[in-house]
Amino acid sequence: MPTIAVLGTLDSKGPEHAFVAEQIRAQGFATLLIDVGSLDAPAVTPDVTRSTVLAALPGDHSAVLARRDRGECVGLMARAAAAFVAPLATAGKIHGIISLGGGGGTAIATAAMRALPIGFPKLMVSTLASGNTAPYVGTSDLVMMPALVDVSGLNRVSRVVFEHAAGAICGMVAAAGRRRNAPPAADKPLVVASMFGNTTACVTEAKRLVEAAGYEVLVFHATGTGGRAMEALIASGLVAGVLDITTTEWADELAGGILSAGPERLDAAAKAKIPAIVTPGCLDMVNFGERASVPAKFAGRTFYQHNPQVTLMRTTPAECAELGRILAEKINRYTAPVTVLFPRRAISVISAPGKPFHDPAADAALLAALRSHLRPDIPFRDLDLEINDPAFARACAESLLAHLAAVARR
């Protein structure tokens, strides 16, 4: 019988979690009621106590609990919950997880859920579900469901919400069970690719060629969230190779745009030791919102209005030199086969001759820095092509396929 973890702060929301557990058991599933409260005694008896959860973290945490600082306790229990539930899922002792919460409970439970693999059923009923959920969801596939009313007692509204949530997690676990028990699929090796509107033609053609060679290609939109999601999937061990054609998120990270994927972008492939190709796709642009949202310090820069909601800013030669250095240092850590390809005529649609972002000095600075800082043994292909030329896409695909074949031969 599949077991669903019902995790929550049972000191403040014990009866509500007990109600959800009862609803789950009524549908034929077992439950594991886990207490991650920290301030007062649990209002219901858990199957797993908070001290057991805390034991998943090394060290003595009694001083933190004794201070009874809510923020400090929430942070501690979030780390402990993540450390506790991940091994349960790996061992097959739980098959899904659900929680109910306000701000603190949501922070604790979603930290635990983000520690679980893609495809593992996870559902968070939260008072924060209709706002900015990015800090809670991250790059995971957890589902957030609006609580509508505060998670504070059982009433005519909360009962309906909690019943539906119990039904939802049971359905997710049942679907996951059917997937596990299905005959093994002949899955193709997985390749991931980064894409932007300005590199769509290149990625589309490279994807076609790689898929024709027997791979499945997943494309991620390089909008910050997309880059982080791609990095997370690479880190999961499911990916065979990387078509990192659009590294534009690093321009936002450097210059303060709104689509940064963080300073870890390009790290996962190095750690996973898988073949990759890397190009400077769209490093000519930094992303902002509508024109009025661009910080005043950038007055006088070159801008292009991509649409009413997106304003692009051209990177300068100095910024491009720094971007070249950053990319080279990231790529230098790769130990699996990797090739860097540089489209000399244009690194995006709008950096081609005659287009708004055409800036030979900036492109030359990017090229020089990338080449000079790159490890000498890493292949560097400087091609007299635009990034969306089919010939450049073919060079990207063929380079990656050659690396994948070399790894397979080993």
pLDDT of residue 185: 58
Cα separation, 119 vs 142, in Å, equals 9
Instruction: Tell me how far apart the alpha carbons of residues 38 and 42 are, in angstroms, rounded to a whole number.
Output: 9
User: pLDDT value at position 344?
Assistant: 97
User: Using CA atoms, how far apart are residues 53 and 49, in angstroms rounded to an integer?
Assistant: 7
pTM of the model: 0.77
SS3 category, 145: strand
- Please list the pLDDT of the chain residue by residue as tens digits (410 residues): 999 999 999 999 999 999 999 999 999 999 999 999 998 999 999 999 999 999 999 998 888 888 989 899 999 999 999 999 999 999 999 999 999 999 999 999 999 999 998 899 999 999 999 888 888 998 889 999 999 999 989 999 999 999 999 999 999 999 999 888 777 656 799 999 999 999 999 999 999 999 999 999 999 999 998 999 999 999 988 999 999 999 999 999 999 999 999 999 999 999 999 999 999 999 999 999 999 999 999 999 999 998 888 999 999 999 999 999 999 999 999 999 999 999 999 999 999 999 999 999 999 999 999 999 999 999 999 999 999 999 999 999 999 999 999 998 87
Q: Where are the domains of the chain?
A: 3-181, 190-409
Beta bridge partners of 339: 277
Quick one: tokens of 144?
A: 């957030």
Other Cβ atoms less than 10 A from the Cβ of 406: the count is 12
What the block records as the tokens of 152 is: 């504070």
Phi, psi of 309, rounded to the nearest 5 degrees = -100, -10
Name which of 182, 172, 156, 161 is nearest 116 in CA terms.
172
Cα 404 from Cα 187, distance rounded (Å):
16
Strand partners, 124: 99, 144
pLDDT at 179: 83
pLDDT score of 288: 96
pLDDT reported for residue 186: 63
CATH for 3-181 is 3.40.50.12020
Identify the pLDDT of residue 155.
95
Phi/psi at 295 (5° precision): -55, 145
Residue 98's beta-bridge partner residues? 6, 123
Q: Under a CB-based contact definition with an 8 Å cutoff, are residues 96 and 165 in contact?
A: no
Which of 5, 353, 19 minimizes the C-alpha distance to 164?
Answer: 19
State whether residue 336 is helix, strand or coil: coil
Question: Helix or strand or coil: residue 258?
Answer: coil
Amino acid at 36: V
Other CB atoms within 10 A of residue 211 CB: 14
Q: 3-181 and 190-409 share one CATH topology? A: yes
CATH class of 190-409: alpha beta
Alpha-carbon distance of 90 to 116, in angstroms, equals 9
Enumerate residues 6+ apart whose C-beta is below 8 A from 307.
none
Count of C-beta atoms within a 10 Å radius of residue 115: 20
Cα atoms in the 13 Å half-sphere on the side-chain side of 134: 7
- State the virtual CA torsion across 179, 193, 247, 329 in degrees, nearest 10: 80
Spatial strand order of the sheet with 3-8 comes to 30-35, 3-8, 96-101, 122-126, 143-146
Smallest CA-to-CA distance from 131 within 109, 110, 151, 103 is with 103
Residue 270: which residues within 8 A CB-CB, separation 6 or more? 330, 331, 333, 334, 335
Hey, what amino acid is at 177? G
> Cα separation of 189 and 193, whole Å?
13
- The strand pairing partners of 305, in sequence order, are 311
DSSP state of 57: S
CA distance 45 to 214: 53
Can you state the percent helix, strand and coil of the chain, rounding each to 5?
A: 45, 20, 35
